Amino acid sequence: MPSLMCKQIRRQILSESDVKGEGGTHMPRVITWVIHVYIARAAEEAFTLGNEEFVKENWKAALEHFSRAADLNPAKSEYALHKAAAMCKVNVYTNASDIIWRANS
């Protein structure tokens, strides 16, 4: 069963897929936009799940979710910093300091 996010994206594609301009369709631009939105939402969803696991002190699961969020959207330093915090909780200090350094530069 598709998630709510997938249903919303599908609706957006269908509502914009018939947009035409001079010389043809704008479909590639719509698809690019949809991909960016999907990735941003997937990253935010992973980040939210990471926060939920972090609060439960389930450090490894939190690290997995924060890592996914940071991989999906490396431009958002908040994701990387939370990943580093989870890494500290599982005693991976060396890599955590590298992540913090890159996130702040």
Token pair of 16 as six digits: 């914009």
Query: Which residues fall within 8 angstroms of residue 30, CB to CB, at 6 or more apart?
Result: 13, 16, 17, 19
User: Which pTM does this prediction carry?
Assistant: 0.69
- At residue 36, the 3 state secondary structure works out as helix
Q: Write down the CATH number for the domain with range 27-103.
A: 1.25.40.10
Domain ranges, ordered by start, for the chain: 27-103
Per-residue pLDDT reduced to its tens digit, 22-75 = 455 566 777 788 888 889 999 999 999 999 999 999 999 999 999 999 999 988
Which of 37, 32, 34 has the alpha carbon at shortest distance from 14? 34
pLDDT reading at 1 higher than 50: no
Question: Tell me, what's the pLDDT at 14?
Answer: 58
